[in-house]
Amino acid sequence: MQFHLNGFVPGDPATNWQTRSDDSSQPIVPLPKEVDVLIVGCGPAGLTLAAQLSSFDSINVCIVDQKAGPLQLGQADGIACRNMEMFNAFGFVDRVLKEAYWVNETAFWKPHKANKNHIARHDKVQDTEDGLSEFPHVILNQARVHDFFLNVMHTSASQLNPHYSRKLNSVMVDAENKVSVCDYPVKASFETMAGDNDSSQSELSIEQIRTRYLVGCDGARSVVRESIGLELAGDSVNQAWGVMDVLAVTDFPDVRFKCLIQSTFGSIVLIPREGGYLFRLYVEFGELGVNERVNSKNITSEDLIAKAQNIFQPFTLDIKEIAWWSVYQIGQRLCDRFDNMTPTDSGCQTPRVFIAGDACHTHSPKAGQGMNVSMQDSFNLGWKLASVIMGQCSEDILHSYTSERQAVAKELIEFDQQWSKIVSSASQSDAQKGQAVNRTVTNTPKKTPIAPEELQQYFIKHGRYTAGTEIQYKRSIICANNKYQHLATGFKVGTRFHSAPVIRLSDAKPVELGHLVQADGRWRVFLFAEDSRPSEKSSLVSRLCGLLNNSNDSPLRQYTPGNQDIDSVIDVRAVFQHTDIEITEVPKLLFPTKGRYSLHDYEKCFCIDHKSGTNVFELRGVDTAHGCMVIVRPDQHIANVLPLDNFDELVTFFAAFMIPTAVRT
C-alpha cells in the first residue's frame, strides 16, 4: 500500500490525501462526577487500557487528555510481533498489516575497507526468526495505532470516547484506604484547556471527578506519578541523537530495509516507514560533556541533514520534505513501584492508583520498545481491573501488576543500556573522528569501540526480546509453578500463549489457536487430548468435561452467573489428535447451547493440521500419550499447565483468586 507520494499527510491513507485534515480538535464535554476507572492520558498505554475496558458495558470508564484532540503525528512507530498478537485480540491487526511497513530483513553497514570515509554493506540478516510468531515486526505511525484503538472504543458496547483539553492538576487518595470496591476513594481535579475566547466553557474551568481506580498514562512528566510520591530513577547517557522522518531522493540501495549504519562520522539507524516513500533516520551527534544538555547545542534540522549526508557517503541524500524531526538525549529511568502502595502498607490495603508506560519507565527509542512495552503494561492491568470491579476476582490480583510489569521494565532498561551503547559505538580512530563535519556537537573519543560484527551478533541474539516474546511472569496467585511443565514444554508457564495452526472440526477451517484468546476478559482452558477418541470410555478429556459441566466444584459452575452462557467467564476448548471425529461425538461442554435460542456453538473443537505438516502437539512439545490442559489468562499469558486427570488442582488454582457467584455482593 503506497501513500505520501506528494508529501506527508497524517490520517487514514484510504482517504484521499487532498481531503485529509490536520484539525483534530474535539468539542469539550463535561466530565462525569463518578466513574469506576479514570484514565489520564490518551497515549498508547491509556488507549490500550480504555479499549480493553470499553468492552464491558457494566464498567463506567472515563479517559482524559490534555491535547485538544486525537494525535495526528506520533513519534513511536515500531510494532513488535507480540503487540501484533495483541492487536489481533482487539480485532484490528488486518488493518495494521495492510498499512504498515513489514520489517523482513535488517542490513548492517560499516566503513569501507578501501576508503574509511565511505560506508559499505557488511551483511543482511532476517529480522525475526522463523516460527517466533504468526505475525511480522512492522512499522506504523503511532497516530494510526491510536486511531484503531479509538475506533474499538467508539464502536464498543459502552461507546467510549475521550475527554480532551483537560489538564490534570491534582490527585488525592483517601487517607484510610480500607474501603470496598464500591467506594470512590480517589479524587482528581482537572483544568479545562478551553480557548480564552470560548466564554461558553467558563463553567468548566475546574472539574473534579471521583473514581474507584485511577491509572496514570500521562507520560514521563506524569502528574499522577508525582501525586503518589514516586520518582523516575536513573541516569541520562551523555549521547546526543537527532531523528527525522523524511521524503528524500537517494541512491543508497537499502533505503527500504531497516539498516544499522556505522561510519567514520557516526552512526545511523534507518527505519523505512509505511507508504513506500517515507523513512526515518536516527542520527548520532556524538557525546556531550559532563552535565551538558542537548538543548544547549541548538541543533537545527539543517545540522541533522548535514550530519546524515556525511554518514551516507559515498551515497547522496537529497531531502525533499521533513515530516517531523527532533533532537534528544538518551536516558533510562524506572520507578520502583507502579502503584500507590508502599512497603509499609498493610496487607489489607489495595492499590487504587496505577501508572503505566512512560510514566513509570523511559528509555531510548532505537530498540523500538517504548510504545510496545507501554501497551503491554495496560494489557496486563486492564483485565485485572475489570474482573475486580465486576466481582469476579479478589482485589489481591491487583498487586500482581507492579510485580509483573516492574520486572519487565527493569529488564527493558538493562537491555536498552547495552543496546544504546553498542549502536552508538563505531569502529573509528580518533584521527578519523577529527574529519567529521559537525558544527554543533564536538565528537569526543569513544573508549571502547564496538565492531560491526558485535553489533550484528547482539541484534541476532536478542531478537526474541525485541519481538516481545521472551517475557515470562514469575509465580503468583495467577501464575502457577512449572510442576507439570514436562507435559507441554513449548507452553511455558508465565510466557504468552504461543499460537499454532489447527483445523476446526466442525468445518475443516484452518485457524490459529492463539487467535481464540480475544481481549474480552475471559480465561481460556485449552484441553490437548491424549491419543483416544472422546467417545471412548477411557477418554480423559470426556471425563474432565463431565466434571467441569456437572460438578458443584467446577470453576465454570462456581464463577459463572446463572443467567450467562457457560463460557462467559472461562472458555474451554479442545484439540484432538484424531481428525475424523464427529462434532456430535464430543462432550456436551465442547458442543454447548448458548444465547436466547440455545443455539449450538460449533467452534470449540479442533484437531491437528496434517495437511500443512504443522502438528501443534509436536510444535509445542505436548505429551501425546497423556495430553494436558493449558490455562491461559485474559492477557494471553499461560497461567498453568495441568494433567487432564487433575481436576482438583484446577479447582484449587481458580479458588485462590476468583469469587464464587454465590458470595458476590
Residues 6+ apart with CB under 8 A from 444: 286, 287
- Angle formed by the axes of helices 370-389 and 399-424, nearest 10°: 180
**Confidence band of 463 (pLDDT split at 50, 70, 90):** confident
pLDDT band, residue 143 (cuts 50/70/90) = very high
Mean pLDDT is lowest, of 308-322, 340-354, 485-499, 522-536, for 340-354
Higher pLDDT among residues 76 and 270, named by residue: 270
> How many residues belong to the chain?
665
pLDDT over 50 (residue 431) = no
Which pLDDT belongs to residue 433?
Answer: 41
Prior bond of 587 cis (ω within 30°): no
How many Cα atoms occupy the beta-carbon half-sphere of 184 within 13 Å? 15
- Do the bridges between strand 628-632 and strand 523-528 make them parallel or antiparallel, or are there none, so unpaired? antiparallel
Give the Cα separation of 638 and 494 in Å (integer): 5
Strand order in the sheet with 501-504: 510-512, 501-504, 605-608, 570-576, 523-528, 628-632, 638-642
Q: Which amino acid is at 325?
A: W
Strand 105-111 and strand 258-263: the pairing is parallel
Q: By the 8 A CB rule, do 381 and 364 touch? A: no
Enter the C-alpha cell of residue 277.
Answer: 516513500
Nearest to 631 by CA among 459, 424, 487, 501: 487
Tell me the per-residue pLDDT of 18-71, one tens digit each, with 9 for 90 and over.
555 555 667 788 999 999 999 999 999 999 999 999 999 999 999 999 999 999
Residue 421 has pLDDT above 80, yes or no: no
Dig out the grid coordinates for 179 from the structure. Answer: 474501603
Distance CA 84, CA 609 (A): 23
Distance CA 300, CA 440 (A): 9
What is 485-663's CATH superfamily?
Phenol hydroxylase, C-terminal dimerisation domain (3.40.30.20)
DSSP codes of every residue in 435-467? T---SSS-----SS---HHHHHHHHHHTHHHHT
Residues near 582 by beta carbon (within 8 Å), at least 6 away in sequence: none
pLDDT above 80: residue 166: yes
Predicted confidence at residue 481, as pLDDT, reads 95
Q: How far apart are CA 87 and CA 77, in angstroms?
A: 14
Provide the pLDDT for residue 508. 95
Cell triple for 248: 528524500
Higher pLDDT, 467 or 583: 583
- Report which secondary-structure segment, H or E, holds 269: strand 266-272
Average pLDDT, the chain: 88
Residue 118 has pLDDT above 70, yes or no: yes
565-608: pLDDT as tens digits: 999 999 999 999 998 999 999 999 999 999 999 999 999 999 99
pLDDT bracket for residue 430 (50, 70, 90): very low
pLDDT bin (cut points 50, 70, 90) of residue 398 is: very high
Q: How high is the pLDDT of residue 281?
A: 96
Which amino acid appears at position 52 of this protein? Q
Cell numbers at 21, concatenated: 485534515
- Tell me the chain's radius of gyration from C-alpha atoms: 27
Q: Name residues whose C-beta falls within 8 Å of residue 483's C-beta, 6 or more positions apart in sequence.
A: none
Q: Return d(Cα 384, Cα 390) in angstroms, integer.
A: 10
- Closest C-alpha among 381, 345, 344 to residue 360: 381
Query: Which amino acid is located at 272 in the chain?
Result: P
pLDDT of residue 412: 84
Rounded to whole angstroms, how far apart are CA atoms 228 and 171?
8
Could you give the 3-state DSSP secondary structure of residue 399?
A: helix
pLDDT-derived band at 153, boundaries 50, 70, 90: very high
**What pTM value is reported for the model?**
0.91
| C-alpha distances in Å from residue 36, one per residue of 56, 340, 376, 630, 634 | 12, 17, 21, 32, 20
* Residue 312, pLDDT score: 97
Q: Note the pLDDT of residue 176.
A: 64
User: What pLDDT does 16 receive?
Assistant: 62
What is the rounded CA–CA span in Å between residue 339 and residue 225? 9
Confidence check: pLDDT of 403 > 50: yes
Q: Is 39 helix (H, G, I), strand (E, B) or coil?
A: strand
- The pLDDT of residue 53 is 98
Q: Please give the Cα distance from 169 to 146 (Å, whole number).
A: 25
Q: List CB contacts of 294: < 8 A, sequence separation 6 or more.
A: 240, 285, 288, 327, 328, 329
Q: Residue 184 is which amino acid?
A: Y
- Homologous superfamily of the 34-106+130-232+335-410 domain (CATH): FAD/NAD(P)-binding domain (3.50.50.60)
pLDDT of 471 over the 70 cut? yes
Domain ranges of the chain: 34-106+130-232+335-410, 236-330+431-466, 485-663
Tell me which of 4 and 388 has the higher pLDDT: 388
For residue 306, give the H/E element and its range.
helix 301-311
The arithmetic mean of pLDDT across residues 355-371, rounded, is 82
- Tell me, what's the pLDDT at 177? 57
Question: Using one digit for the tens of pLDDT, what is the confidence trace for 173-220?
Answer: 987 655 666 689 999 999 997 654 444 444 558 999 999 999 999 999
Distances (CA, A) of 547 to 43, 207, 526: 45, 53, 15
Fold of 236-330+431-466: D-Amino Acid Oxidase; Chain A, domain 2 (3.30.9)
Contact criterion met (CB below 8 Å) for 372 and 363: no
Residue 609's SS3 state is strand
